[in-house]
Amino acid sequence: MNKLRLITSDLIQDLTKLSADASSIYWVTAFAMKSGVRLVLPSLKEALASNTEVKILVGDYLYITQPKALELLLQELPGAEIRIHKSSGISFHPKAYLFRSEITNHLIVGSSNLSASALQRGIEWNLYAPAEVSGTVFEEATNEFMKLFYSDSTIPLNKETLETYSIAYEQANLTVPLSQKWTESEEQEAMFGPISTGSTVYEQEEPYVIETTKLTPRPAQVLALDALQETMQDEYDKALVVLATGLGKTYLAAFFAEQFNRVLFIAHREEILNQAKGSFLHVHPVKTAGLYNAIEKNKDADFVFASIHTLSQKFHLEKFDPHAFDLIVIDEFHHAAAPSYERLLDYFKPKFLLGITATPDRLDNKDVYSICDGNIAIRIHFIDAIQRNWLSPFHYYGVYDDTDYSKIRWIGTGYDEEELSRVQLREDMAEKILLAWIDKKQTRTIGFCSTVRQANFLSYYFTQAGYHSIALNGNTPRNERMNARKQLESGQLDIIFTVDLFNEGVDIPTVDTLLFARPTESIAIFTQQIGRGLRLAEGKSHCVIIDLIGNYRNADTKLTVFTPDSTDKVELKTIQTSLPELCAFHLETEIIDLVKEMARKAASHKQRLIFGYFRLKEEMGSRPTYLDFHLKSGIIATNVKKEFGSYVGMLQEAGELNEQELEAFELYKDWLEDVEKTAMTKSYKMVLLKYMLSRGIDHWHKPVKAEEVAPFFTDYLTAKEYRRKIDVIDTDMKKVSSLIERMPMTKWSGSSKGKITFENGFFQLNFDVVESVNEIVFEWTKEICEFRLHWYFEKKGEKL
C-alpha cells in the first residue's frame, strides 16, 4: 500500500491492517452503528494493548448513531478517548480514518461510516492516501481533526452523556423516522442555505507596539509583573493573570519571560502564535523563536510558539523532554479547560505555568482557574481599566426585544439555530434594530449576529436603507475581510455585521459603536465582544453599546459583566453606582421590568446548585468532589452549606446517594455539617483534621494528642510561602503543641455541641463510627476538609 487508491468494498480489511502498525489512530464518522463497532473492536483493542493512542469522534446528527454502538465503544475501549459531536441541527457528514506510525502515515477519507454495511459490502467510495501521496496534507488533517475533536461542539462519551444521548435518541426516533428526518433536513438546507454560525476565523492582531526602540512595560503590565513576582516569592508554581482586552497580555508574558531560559507559548490559533512570536522577539531581540504547528516544527528555539492542536497529539508531545521549558504560557486561558490541554499540562514539568486571559468567567461554568490551583495573581476588569483611563468609557443602551425566546428550543449550550433564524429574519425586527442604531450610533460599528443568515439579512436591510454595510463570517476570503476592516477605519463603511469573527485577537481601535443583535448565550464571549470597542483612539471619547435584550437565557446575568466583583446575581442599582464617571448605563423600562421578573422566577439557589452539579458530573463522567465542584463548576461553592448544610446534603437532595450512603448520611449528618460550618478565623481546625485523616481509614476517628499533631501541623503550615504568610506559627514543637491545645482543640470542642471533646489532653470525636459506613464517612470528611483548606487560603491570599 504505497500509492493512492480507491477502496470500494471491505474497508474493514484496511482499517484492521493499519491499526496493527499505528502509534496513533484518529477516526471521525458521521454516525456509528452497533454492527460496525463490533467489526472494529478487535483491532482497536489490540492497538490499545500496544499503547496506541486512540481517538474517535462520532456525530449525533439526526440521531442516527445507535446508543448501543456508543455503549460498546465506552465499555470495550476503556483506554480510548471517545467524543460525541453535537450537531445542533447543522449537517455533519465527515468520514475519515487517520493512522500515524513510527514509519509512515496513512489517511482514508470517503463515504464509509461505522456500520457493517459501510465497512464490508455497501456501495462506498473511500480514497486511501499513504504518506508518500498525502505529504503535508496528513499533518493538516490531524490538525483539523484535533480542532474538531476538542471543539465546543463536542462532549466526552461517558456514562452520563451516554444516558443523555439515549433519552434524546429515543424521543427523536419516536417522533420522526430517520429517513424522513434526513430528507427534511437536507431540503431545508438546500432552500435557505446553511444555518451554521460559520467557522470562527481570526485575524492577526495589530502589533501592540511597532517601534524598534527598547520597550518598557505599560502601567497595567507593571502591576501584573509585580503581582507575578510576589506570587513566585510565595512559592506558587502556577498563576492566572486576568487583564481586560487592550491591556497587553502578550507583551506582559514577554516581559515576564525575562527571568526564564526557555519558554513554551501555547495558543489555539495560528494568528496568536505569529503575533506572540513577534512580540517576544521585540522584547528579546537576541533570543531565538520558532513555531511548532502543522507546517513548522521548530522545537529547539529559546521561545517555542506551539499550536495546541498539534502539540496535544501524542506523537508530537513526546518529542519534547517534560522538563524542556522553564516557563509555559497559555494564551486565551479560558480555552484551557478543553481536554486537549490536559495531556499537555500533565506531561510538561515547568518551573512556572502562566495563564493569561481577559475572560475566565465563572458564569459560563468553564472555570479554568482551577488549572492554576485557584491562584489569580491579578485581575484587572475592564471597569477598573476605564477608571484608570487605560480603556475608553462606554455608554450602554439596553433596547427591549419583544421576541418570546421561551418558545425557542434550547439545545445544549445555545438556541436551536433554525428556530432562532425564523424569528430573527423578519423585517419588523430588522427595522427595530436599524432605528435603535440610527438613534444611538456614532461613526464606526461592529454588529454581532447569531448566524451567517442573520448577518447577511441585516447587512442587506441596512444597505437598502442607504447605509454602507457588509457581512463577514469565517468563510469570507481573507483579503475581503482585511479590506472591510480598512474601509471601516477610513469611514467608507458604516457597519460590519459578523458572527463571532471579532471575538479574540482583532482590534480596530477606532470602532466606537457596538451593536448586539443576538441573544447572549456566553457571558465570556459577550465580555470579549465588548472589549472590541474599548480600545483608546485619537478623537474617540467613548464607545456606544447598543444591546437588544429579550427574555432569553442569560438576559439578566449578562449584566453582571458591568460589575468588577464576581457574582451570579445582577443588581441594577449596584451597576449604576459602580460605573466610572464618564460611563453611562441606560435600560428601557420594559427591560428593567423583565430583569426583575426573571430574577423573581429564577430557579432557587438550591436548583441552580443542583443543576450545576449535574452539568459538571456530565462533563467529568463521574461524581465531582467538593473541591472539583468549587474549582470547575463555575458556581460559588459557599452557597452549598447555606442551602444544604453540607456538600453531602446537596448530594442527598439531588438523589445522588445510594442506599448505603443514605444510611451514612442519616447517621453522621450533624458531624458533616459541623465540619462544613465550624468557624475558621485560622486554618488550624482543618489542619488538625487533615492530620487525623492522614492516619488512614482505620484510625482517622481515634483520639489524638497535641504533641502527636505538632510535627505535621508545622510541616503543613510552613511548606508553602503563602501559608507561612497567612498563618504564622512558631517552629518550636512545645509552643506548637500548646497552640494546638489552646486553639483548634479547645475552640472546636467548645463550639461543636458535644460532637467533639477535649479532655485530659486527648482530642476526640464524641461518637462511634459504624464500620459498615466508615469508609464513606472518611471520604466525605476528607472532601470537606480539603475544600475548606483550599477556600481559606484562596480567600486569605487575595487580601495579602
586's grid cell: 441606560
Residue 149 has pLDDT above 70, yes or no: yes
Q: Which of 203-212, 458-467, 595-604, 733-742 has the least mean pLDDT?
A: 203-212
Residues 559-594: pLDDT tens digits? Answer: 888 887 655 566 777 787 788 989 999 999 999 888
According to DSSP, the β-strands at 584-587 and 394-400 are parallel
Q: Please give the average per-residue pLDDT across 411-420, as a whole number.
A: 73
Burial class of residue 319, CB neighbours in 10 A (0-12, 13-18, 19+) = exposed
pLDDT at 748: 96
CA–CA separation, 461 and 23 (whole Å):
54
Residue 543 has pLDDT above 90, yes or no: yes
pLDDT at 570: 63
Q: Please give the average per-residue pLDDT across 781-792, as a whole number.
A: 94
Residue 179 has pLDDT above 70, yes or no: no
Q: Is the dihedral of CA 269, 270, 271, 274 positive or negative?
A: positive
Query: What are the distances in angstroms from CA 493 to CA 445, 470, 758?
Result: 9, 8, 77
752's grid cell: 461543636
Are 665 and 733 contacting, i.e. CB atoms less than 8 angstroms apart? no
Residue 418: which of 192, 707, 701, 181 has the closest Cα? 192
Query: What are the distances in angstroms from CA 69 to CA 58, 171, 176, 495?
Result: 10, 17, 21, 48
571's grid cell: 443588581
pLDDT at 360: 59
* DSSP secondary structure letters along 540-577: ---EEEEEEE-S-TTTTGGGGGGSSS--SS--HHHHHH
Residue 517 has pLDDT above 80, yes or no: yes
Residues 87-128: pLDDT tens digits? Answer: 866 778 999 999 998 888 999 999 999 999 899 988 899 999
Q: Give me the sheet containing 24-29, strands edge to edge.
A: 5-7, 126-130, 105-110, 95-100, 24-29, 53-59, 81-85, 154-156
Residue 519 has pLDDT above 60, yes or no: yes
541's grid cell: 471619547
Specify which residues 380 forms β-bridges with: 243
Residue 337 has pLDDT above 80, yes or no: no
Residue 615: which of 354, 373, 337 has the closest Cα? 337
Residue 210 has pLDDT above 80, yes or no: no
Q: Per 3-state DSSP, what percentage of the chain is helix, strand, and coil (rounded to 5)?
A: 50, 15, 35
Q: What are phi and psi of 583, to 5 degrees?
A: -95, 155
216's grid cell: 518598557
Residue 693: which of 673, 677, 716 has the closest Cα? 716
Which one has a higher pLDDT value, 620 or 743?
743
Kindly report the pTM of this predicted structure: 0.67
pLDDT at 198: 41
Within a 10 A sphere around the Cβ of 759, how many other Cβ atoms?
A: 10
pLDDT band at 204 (very low <50, low <70, confident <90, very high): very low
pLDDT at 206: 38
Contacts of 518 by beta carbon, 8 Å cutoff, 6+ apart? 424, 448, 449, 450, 454, 548
* DSSP secondary structure letters along 328-397: EEESSGGGTTSTHHHHHHHH---SEEEEEES---GGGT--GGGGGTT-EEEEE-HHHHHHTTSS--EEEE
Burial class of residue 327, CB neighbours in 10 A (0-12, 13-18, 19+) = buried
CA–CA separation, 361 and 69 (whole Å):
36
474's grid cell: 469565517
Residues 469-496: pLDDT tens digits? Answer: 999 887 778 788 889 989 999 999 999 9
Query: What are the distances in angstroms from CA 419 to CA 89, 176, 182, 423?
Result: 10, 18, 17, 7
97's grid cell: 480514518
Residues 254-279: pLDDT tens digits? Answer: 999 999 999 999 998 777 898 899 99
pLDDT band at 226 (very low <50, low <70, confident <90, very high): very high
pLDDT at 336: 67
Are 755 and 781 contacting, i.e. CB atoms less than 8 angstroms apart? no
Length of the chain: 800
CA–CA separation, 318 and 308 (whole Å):
14
- Only one residue has cell 531565538, namely 288
pLDDT at 189: 41
Q: Which of 16-30, 250-264, 712-726 has the least mean pLDDT?
A: 712-726
The fraction of the chain above a pLDDT of 70, given in percent, is: 88
Q: What is the three-class DSSP state of 279? A: helix
pLDDT at 527: 86
Residue 694 has pLDDT above 90, yes or no: yes
Residues 351-402: pLDDT tens digits? Answer: 999 999 887 554 443 445 567 776 888 889 899 999 999 999 999 999 999 8
- Only one residue has cell 422566577, namely 601
Residue 635 has pLDDT above 80, yes or no: no
Residues 637-650: pLDDT tens digits? Answer: 778 998 899 999 99
Measured over all CA atoms, what is the biggest interatomic distance in the chain, rounded to whole angstroms? Answer: 89
pLDDT at 213: 57
Burial class of residue 766, CB neighbours in 10 A (0-12, 13-18, 19+) = middle
pLDDT at 269: 78
Q: Please give the average per-residue pLDDT across 695-718, as a whole number.
A: 95
Residue 455: which of 440, 442, 441, 445 has the closest Cα? 445
pLDDT at 89: 63
CA–CA separation, 92 and 90 (whole Å):
6
Q: Which of 133-147, 199-213, 323-337, 527-541 has the least mean pLDDT?
A: 199-213
CA–CA separation, 502 and 479 (whole Å):
16
Burial class of residue 346, CB neighbours in 10 A (0-12, 13-18, 19+) = exposed
Residue 181 has pLDDT above 90, yes or no: no
pLDDT at 419: 83
The winner for highest mean pLDDT among 327-336, 564-573, 764-773 is: 764-773
> Which domains, and CATH codes, for the chain?
5-192 (3.30.870.10), 219-380 (3.40.50.300), 390-601 (3.40.50.300), 657-798 (no CATH)
The fraction of the chain above a pLDDT of 90, given in percent, is: 56
The winner for highest mean pLDDT among 549-563, 615-629, 763-777 is: 763-777
Specify which residues 24 forms β-bridges with: 53, 100
pLDDT at 794: 82
537's grid cell: 483612539
Are 440 and 546 contacting, i.e. CB atoms less than 8 angstroms apart? yes
DSSP 326: S
CA–CA separation, 460 and 160 (whole Å):
44
Q: Please give the average per-residue pLDDT across 707-730, as a whole number.
A: 90
Residue 564 CA, chain-centre distance (Å), reads 20
Q: What average pLDDT is seen over the chain?
A: 86
463's grid cell: 444597505
Residue 46 has pLDDT above 90, yes or no: yes
Rama region for 491: left / alpha / beta (φ>0; ψ in -120 to 50; rest): left
Residue 309: which of 280, 338, 348, 279 has the closest Cα? 338
